[in-house]
Amino acid sequence: MKRLKIFISLLAGLLGFQAILTSCIEDGVSTSASDQPAFSTDTVRMGSLLTLGPSPTNRFIVYNRHGKVMNISDIAFRDDDAGQFRINVDGMSGRRFSNVEIRPNDSIFVFVEATLAENGKNLPVEVLAHIDFRVNGVTSSMPVKAYGQDVTRLSGDTRFSGTASLSPDRPYLVNDSIVVEEGATLTLPAGTRLLMHDRAEIIVHGTLLVNGTVENPVEITGDRSGFVAASIPYEVMSGQWGGIRFSPTSSANEIHGASIRNSERGIVLDHCGGSRATPALVLHNSVVRNTKNYVVEAVHSSLTAVGCELSDASLGILRLVGSEHLVSHCTLGNYYLFTAIGGPALRLEHVDPEEETDDTEDSELPWMSDTEIHNTIIYGLGPDLSHGDLEGLPVTLLNCLLKSAGSDDQNFINCLWDTDPLFGVDRDNYIFDYRVGADSPAIGAGDTDRRYPLAETDMLGAPRLPLPTVGAYQEAR
């Protein structure tokens, strides 16, 4: 009987403790209108999004900075009747949520995505909605802002024959490839934007003319935006599309005022021939950067590059194989981010007539690489040049800034050796600014006797004379 009384007493105590615990939990939920959530941002800014396509995911944090449990009785979009936005609250997807609790001094994540409808405009159109959070009879709102950009979609191989021109009115989303047929000419006017999907290429059998300007450059880049991870933007990711390839039948190509980024192979000229007087490609006041292979390869194809930033690649920056080349007022900078750099910034091949290669017996190939490089910076991680001894070879570097320690001779004239240009590169924060610093030795060190009409101003419109700076940019950062 005594044991029964003890058991009953224990049972009563447990029941009493449970009642007290339940009462504490119930009393721990805030009912005060002054206890409201705090947010990690004042607006969810989703940027410019391509209409009809899914957006990158944006997120923000909802905080309970109070000492009691916060019950959010309702979370929903107030003004998104078209259903263009979607949310995920604490791991659950939907458009409306009820009775979401946040523990004292804790938080939850809210993720936002969008698929915006076409708007029929050429310029981006603002789309604004609000997510309402109702707590204890009070509503707090989070604005969600995006800009919908209509695009012209090119699916399948899009082939151009005759004389054709794209429109700068709205961007092109290129899902496969653009092909310029033999004998055809395709022009990209100032302001044209090509957003290239995975593996898409531009293949030129005829002639490509790119006519960007300081005010309206032509942009060719991948179609991904947003972030790969929390702090890594797609803008720093190479290999997002194939690149631009000029076939042996291509000639008289010109690229002015372009920004070409984030490809697999950059620009490749494949046995296009030409000479310094009639180059296969004139590349002028343009940026070509961030590739998995070389930025520019000219294989038995004459290249003239003036005023260009060629930067950041896994294998190297500029590969010149045979033929005649002119490189003036360019910056060859390499601080590629994701792998060790596999070769020199400037690789010269077929410079030695005694070299033995598979194509030495083809008498039609422009065997010797006759190369002039003026007022150019070659600097970064990895070596700068593939050849240390160019004696007797038709290669001249004049008024160039080099990473190597060396001295002038008949091939290297008035060069700045073992000299840091003081780029504004910060790899840890994904900043790749190839303008030189205010105290850079490159300032005013350019040659004024070698004047080319294409080099009179840099790609930002700054005049080079009377004291030209070595490299692509005239003015310091």
Q: Where do we find the tokens 């009785």?
A: 73
Distance from C-alpha of 94 to C-alpha of 85, rounded to nearest angstrom: 10
Q: Give the residue among 239, 229, 217 at the shortest CA–CA distance from 313.
A: 239
> Would you say how long the chain is, in residues?
477
End-to-end CA distance of the chain: 92
Widest distance between CA atoms in the chain: 116
Its pTM surpasses 0.95: no
Q: Which residues contact 374 (CB under 8 A, 6 or more apart)?
A: 326, 327, 328, 329, 397, 398, 399, 400, 447, 450
b (16+ CB within 10 A) / e for 17-53: eeeeeeeeeeeeebeeeebbbebeeeebebeebbbee
Distance from C-alpha of 83 to C-alpha of 271, rounded to nearest angstrom: 53
Tokens of 397: 């570097």
Taking only the tens of pLDDT, the chain with its 477 residues reads: 444 444 444 444 444 444 444 444 445 899 999 999 999 999 999 999 999 999 989 999 999 999 999 999 999 999 998 999 999 998 899 889 999 999 999 999 999 999 999 999 999 999 999 999 999 999 999 999 999 999 999 988 899 999 999 999 999 999 999 999 999 999 999 999 999 999 999 999 999 999 999 999 999 999 988 777 667 788 888 999 999 999 999 999 999 999 999 999 999 999 999 999 999 999 999 999 999 999 999 999 999 999 999 999 999 999 999 899 999 999 999 999 888 898 999 999 875 555 545 454 444 554 567 899 999 999 999 999 986 678 888 899 999 999 999 999 999 999 999 999 999 999 989 999 999 999 999 999 999 877 678 999 999 999 998 999 999 999 999
Distance from C-alpha of 360 to C-alpha of 357, rounded to nearest angstrom: 6
